[in-house]
Amino acid sequence: MAAHVIDGEALAAELRENVEASFGDVVEAGVRPGLATVLVGDDYSAQAYERRLRRLAEELGCHYASEVLAPDIEEADAFAVIGKLNADPRVSGILILRPLPKQVSEGHIYRTLDPLKDVEAVHPDNAGLLALGQPRFVPSTPASVFFMLDRYVEDSGRDPKTFYNGLDLVLVGRSNNVGKPALWLGLARNATVVSCHAYTSQAGRLPDHMLRADILVVAAGVPGIVTGEIVKEGVIAIDVGINAVKDEETGKTRIVGDLDFESVAAKAEAISPVPGGVGPITDVWLLRNTIEAARYRARL
Ligand code: NDP
C-alpha cells in the first residue's frame, strides 16, 4: 500500500485563509489582536519558533511583543513580566516558550497567566476545561493534529463526526502541552485512547500498543521510535516529533520526526511527514487562538 502523505503546508495555508476571512468582526469592532511571547534564555528551537510567530503575527496585522528574559532570571521577576503582559490591553494572547530554566517552575508561571490570555491552555483553569470537554482554547499542537486528521478523514470520503467512534487511537508521549491534551481530544471524538510514555517503552510494551493502533499520534521526541515493523497495515500515522539529527554521510544537521517514515509509509493508509506536517499548522493555530482571545475580550 502506498500511503497518502498528508500535506501540512497546504492545510496550514487553508487554515490561514479561514483565519484571515473570519477576522473581520474583530477589526470592525476596533480591536487589534495582539500576541506576546516570553522567551527565557537562548534556546535555538524556541528562538526559531519565536521568529516564525513574529512574522506570521505581523503578516496578519496583529500587534506583536516579545519579552526575552535572562536565563538566570529570578522566578518572581519572570512572574512580574507576565503580570505586565496580563495588564497590557494591546496583548490578547500570551505564549510562554519552553524550555524554562530550572528556577522558573512551569507549574508556577502558568498559574500567573490571565486565563483569558492563555492561548496554549496551560493555566489549570483552561487545562481543566479541556479535560472536561468544554475547552476555552484548544492548545495549538494537539489542535493541529486533529485538524489534520479530521481533514484527511473528510477528504477521503468519511465523516469525521463518526469516523473515530470506537477506533484505537494510540498516543506516544504524555506531556502537558501535547500528549495529554491530545488524549482529551481523542476521547471527545469517541476513540478508545491509549497513552504510551517512556515507561511503556522501558517495560517493552510499546510494540503491543502500536500494533493495535488504527490511528497513531507520536510525540516523544525520539527519532524513528516507531518503525513499520510495529504498526498495523492501514494505520493513519501522525508525526509530531521534531528532532535535529546529524546526517552521517553529509555531516549536515537535518530535521526528522519520531516515525521511521519509509517503513511506516510502506504499511500506512496515510502518514504526516516531518518537516511539512503538523508544525506549520501549529503556528497558524496559535494566531487563531490569539484572535479568538481578542474576540472574547471584546465580547463579540
Ligand atoms: P516532552 O519532552 O515534554 O515529552 C515527551 C514525552 O514522550 C513524555 O511523555 C515521555 O514520557 C515520552 N517519551 C520519551 N521517550 C519515550 C520513549 N522512548 N518511549 C515512549 N515515550 C517516550 O516533549 P513534547 O511533548 O513537548 O514534544 C514531543 C515532541 O514533539 C518533540 O520532538 C517536540 O520537538 C515536538 N513538538 C512539535 C511541535 C509541532 O508543532 N510539531 C510542538 C511541540 C512539540 P514520560 O512522560 O514518561 O517521560
CB 76: neighbour CB atoms within 10 A? 9
**According to the model, what pLDDT value does residue 248 have?**
87
140 CB within 6 A, ligand 1: no
pLDDT level of residue 99 (50, 70, 90 thresholds): very high
Architecture of domain 140-279 in this structure: 3-Layer(aba) Sandwich (3.40)
Q: How many CA atoms lie within 13 A of 229 on its CB side?
A: 5
Residue 153: what residue type? Answer: V
**According to the model, what pLDDT value does residue 148 have?**
98
Q: CATH assignment of 31-116?
A: 3.40.50.10860
Q: Please determine, for residue 256, whether its predicted confidence score (pLDDT) is greater than 80.
A: yes
Sheet containing strand 4-5, edge to edge, reads 4-5, 270-271, 236-239, 215-218, 168-172, 192-196
131 CB within 6 A, ligand 1: no
On the 0-12 / 13-18 / 19+ scale of CB atoms within 10 A, 257 is buried
State the Cα–Cα distance between residues 33 and 51, nearest whole angstrom.
18
CB 145: neighbour CB atoms within 10 A? 27
What mean pLDDT, rounded, does the chain reach? 96
Domain limits, CATH 3.40.50.10860, in the chain: 31-116
Q: Which of 23-32, 60-69, 214-223, 277-286 has the lowest mean pLDDT?
A: 23-32
Q: Please determine, for residue 34, whether its predicted confidence score (pLDDT) is greater than 80.
A: yes
Q: Which of 197, 199, 209, 255 to mutate to test the pocket of ligand 1 (most atoms within 8 A of CB)?
A: 197
Express as a percent the part of the chain with pLDDT over 70. 100
**According to the model, what pLDDT value does residue 1 have?**
61
Q: Please determine, for residue 24, whether its predicted confidence score (pLDDT) is greater than 90.
A: no
Residue recorded with cell 549536515: 252
Query: For residues 118 and 139, is the Cβ–Cβ distance under 8 A?
Result: no
Domain limits, CATH 3.40.50.720, in the chain: 140-279
**According to the model, what pLDDT value does residue 247 have?**
87
263 CB within 6 A, ligand 1: no
- Average pLDDT score over residue span 137-166: 98
More confident residue, 76 or 247: 76
DSSP E strand stretches across 128-274: 168-172, 192-196, 215-218, 236-239, 243-246, 253-256, 270-271
State the Cα–Cα distance between residues 29 and 80, nearest whole angstrom.
30
Residues 6+ apart with CB under 8 A from 114: 86, 94
pLDDT tens-digit readout, 220-235: 999 999 999 999 999 9
**According to the model, what pLDDT value does residue 2 have?**
85
Give the closest residue (by CA) to ligand 1 atom 8.
173
**According to the model, what pLDDT value does residue 168 have?**
98
**According to the model, what pLDDT value does residue 146 have?**
98
State the Cα–Cα distance between residues 211 and 198, nearest whole angstrom.
17
128 to each of 30, 124, 213, how far by Cα in Å? 32, 6, 27
Q: Please determine, for residue 300, whether its predicted confidence score (pLDDT) is greater than 80.
A: no
Give the closest residue (by CA) to ligand 1 atom 18.
198
- Average pLDDT score over residue span 101-112: 97
CA of 20 to the centre of ligand 1 (A): 31
- Average pLDDT score over residue span 246-255: 90
pLDDT level of residue 299 (50, 70, 90 thresholds): confident
Beta strand 63-69 with 93-96: parallel, antiparallel or unpaired? unpaired
**According to the model, what pLDDT value does residue 25 have?**
85
CB 207: neighbour CB atoms within 10 A? 15
